[in-house]
Amino acid sequence: MKFFTLVILLVLHAAAKANEAWVQIDVGRGDARLPTYVMPNPKALATLILLPGGDAGIGKIIDGKPTSGNFVSRSRGDFYAADFNVIVVYRASDLKALDYGYRVKEHVNEIAKVITYAKQTFGKPVWLVGTSRGTVSGTAAAIALGESEVQGLVITSSVTSKKIGAIASQRIESIKIPTLVVHHKNDSCKICIPSEASRITADLKSAPLKKFIMVDGGSSPEGDPCEAKHWHGFINYEKETVKLITDWIKNPKN
């Protein structure tokens, strides 16, 4: 009987994930579309909008799925498995780059369209989860759109200095939603400094709940220290990091 039940659960899980698909959202610029990869979860507690760093490229599409190695993109299945709807937001089709200035202005409007789609489709609370440059976008959107649109914010490997939209340069004192800040203690990206990330929560003066988590785990970093296969991308510690994040979203506390 236990084996039979397990088979049913596995089939249901596979069927649920089979519904994942691309949704192209009109950004209001001619034929430009915002490619989003949507993973509906029938057990969802909330909808997580994942905001990759870098230029938010998709990578190659293999078997209909994005292959971007960015932390939140490659970990999307782990967020899904924690009982959330997942929407990964990639770069608009008419852009070749997604720079910092764009992220604090036009990108906020694009994220607002994704939020509207998420609420109309799923009717669940929406959390923004950004990593690296995605923290610039997520923070700007949380500030601009407010608590009526965004119910929580998670920023990982945050941009802390030297760039437009660095977290401390934004009006984070006005954020009024639960906010989690996660950083790897060995992050050696020059614009994402662990000691500066640890001070972000002190400026979240209006957030009802806020927490900083310094991650220490993983192995075999390689390449550019600002890229996804280094400590900056929680390399070989993705599942543990996602669990820290999703556990907190389910039960946010200081």
> Which sequence spans correspond to the domains of the chain?
22-250
Average the pLDDT over 31-43 and give the result: 97
Tokens of 189: 């990206």
Average the pLDDT over 102-121 and give the result: 98
Predicted pLDDT of residue 5 = 38
Tell me: pLDDT of 12 over 50.
no
Residues near 63 by beta carbon (within 8 Å), at least 6 away in sequence: none
41-59 residue pLDDT tens: 999 999 999 999 999 999 9
Task: Return the CATH superfamily for domain 22-250.
Answer: Alpha/Beta hydrolase fold, catalytic domain (3.40.50.1820)
Tell me: pLDDT of 228 over 60.
yes
For tokens 């075999």, what's the residue?
220
What is the rounded distance in angstroms from the CA atom of residue 158 to the CA atom of residue 145?
20
What is the rounded distance in angstroms from the CA atom of residue 191 to the CA atom of residue 198?
14
| CA torsion through residues 246, 205, 144, 69, sign | negative
> Could you tell me which residues are beta bridge partners of residue 61?
66
Q: Give kind and range of the element (H or E) at residue 134.
A: helix 133-145
187-216 residue pLDDT tens: 999 999 999 999 999 999 999 999 999 999
Average the pLDDT over 232-248 and give the result: 98
Predicted pLDDT of residue 2 = 40
Predicted pLDDT of residue 15 = 40
Tell me: pLDDT of 7 over 90.
no
Size (the chain), residues: 254
Predicted pLDDT of residue 17 = 54
Average the pLDDT over 179-186 and give the result: 98
For the beta carbon of residue 36, count every other beta carbon within 10 angstroms. Answer: 22
Please tell me the pTM assigned to this model.
Answer: 0.92
Q: How many helices (H) and strands (E) does the chain have?
A: 8, 10
Average the pLDDT over 125-133 and give the result: 98
Say whether 104 sits in a helix, a strand or coil.
Answer: coil
